[in-house]
Amino acid sequence: MDIVNPQYESTFVFDNDFPALMEDGPEPIDSGDPLFRAIGARGKCKVMCFSPNPNVTIPLMSLKEIKGVVDTWIQEMTILGAKYKWVQIFENKGSALGSSNPHPHCQIWASSFIPNEASVKDINLMDYKVKHRTNMLVDYAKKEEARKERLVVSNQDWLGLVPYWALWPYETMILPRRRHILRMTDLTDDERRSLADIMKQLTTKYDNLFECCFPYAMGFHGAPTGPEHETQDQSHWQFHAMYYPPLLSSASKKKFMGGYELLANVQRDLTAEQAAEKLRILPKIHYKEK
């Protein structure tokens, strides 16, 4: 039986038909071998449409529409975060990132475990906090705003910049500018609105770079969720967003991670400062709206 989505006028969230995580997943048998360890992985996977209009993306949506997307993200994170340790909101935009549906959408995966990338980040953020008694990303944002050489866009609450450690040619991140924020659910209404603005600013720059619907993988990281983390000190975390675009020098030329980069060390095709400058000087108005 085919399921037809109801008519919707803003955002729409539904369960993924082919989830990578399930709430009733089986528990693996203990092999007794330290080289073949496994634990159960449970969770829930959802898909979220940004708009009923299939022809728009974040840079072409109004601030009110993007604010609605942010509000829905927070609603979903509040519900899923009450049960699960990690809620990963992410968007794969464009066929270059393997997206099979051009309709503007993202995915939300909640898991009973903290994923690898977040686990490594958790360790490094904690190490910095213990050593320096401050928050790494709060300190980092202050230094980047002062230097300005890798800054791309900004508003009253957020900075959009090419990180010093960027691996992809036009990799960027969004960081809070004014205060320490553990999770997306901690945002004020004004900060939700300004997050919508900085996302629109940054993705407009992306589209204007090669005058195309610029592909990227993006997502948010913040402090872990779930009941057990409510009583734990998570002050080493700072909420932020990451954008990983694969394009290198044109709308059709992709950056590939080859042998040396996969086996030894990633090589940059241009410096973080050069990438930031190329993005920063682009028009603020989307090329389709000129």
pLDDT in tens, 20-74: 999 987 888 988 999 998 888 999 999 999 999 988 999 999 999 999 999 999 9
Kind of pairing, strands 151-154 and 172-176?
A: unpaired
pLDDT at 1: 54
With respect to residue 31, please indicate whether it lies within any of the assigned structural domains. no
Of 103, 105, 221, 229, catalytic: 105
CA angle centred on 158, ends 227 and 81, rounded to 5°: 15
Tokens encoding 158: 């957020």
Residue 189 backbone dihedrals phi, psi, to 5 degrees: -65, -40
**C-alpha to C-alpha distance for 170 and 23, rounded to whole angstroms:** 37
What's the domain count of the chain? Answer: 1
**C-alpha to C-alpha distance for 74 and 76, rounded to whole angstroms:** 5
With respect to residue 289, please indicate whether it lies within any of the assigned structural domains. no
With respect to residue 2, please indicate whether it lies within any of the assigned structural domains. no
CA angle centred on 35, ends 31 and 37, rounded to 5°: 50
Kind of pairing, strands 172-176 and 158-161?
A: antiparallel
Q: What is the CATH number of the domain that holds 76?
A: 3.30.428.10
| Domain extent for 217 | 12-26+36-283
With respect to residue 81, please indicate whether it lies within any of the assigned structural domains. yes
Contact 19, 44 (CB under 8 A): yes
Among 12, 64, 46, 62, residue whose Cα is nearest residue 192:
64
With respect to residue 263, please indicate whether it lies within any of the assigned structural domains. yes
Q: Give me the DSSP letters along 11-40.
A: -EEEE-SS-SS-TTPPPPPP-S-TTS----
* pLDDT value at 2 more than 70: no
**C-alpha to C-alpha distance for 213 and 267, rounded to whole angstroms:** 26
122-133: pLDDT as tens digits: 999 999 999 999
* pLDDT value at 5 more than 90: no
Q: Does the annotation count 105 as an active-site position?
A: yes
Contact 247, 170 (CB under 8 A): yes
Q: Which residues pair with 195 in a beta bridge?
A: none
pLDDT at 165: 96
pLDDT band at 274 (very low <50, low <70, confident <90, very high): very high
Helix 189-210 vs helix 63-81: crossing angle, to nearest 10: 120
With respect to residue 121, please indicate whether it lies within any of the assigned structural domains. yes
Mean pLDDT (whole number) for 146-173: 97
With respect to residue 4, please indicate whether it lies within any of the assigned structural domains. no
Q: What pTM does this model have?
A: 0.94
* pLDDT value at 257 more than 70: yes
With respect to residue 7, please indicate whether it lies within any of the assigned structural domains. no
Tokens encoding 15: 């369960």
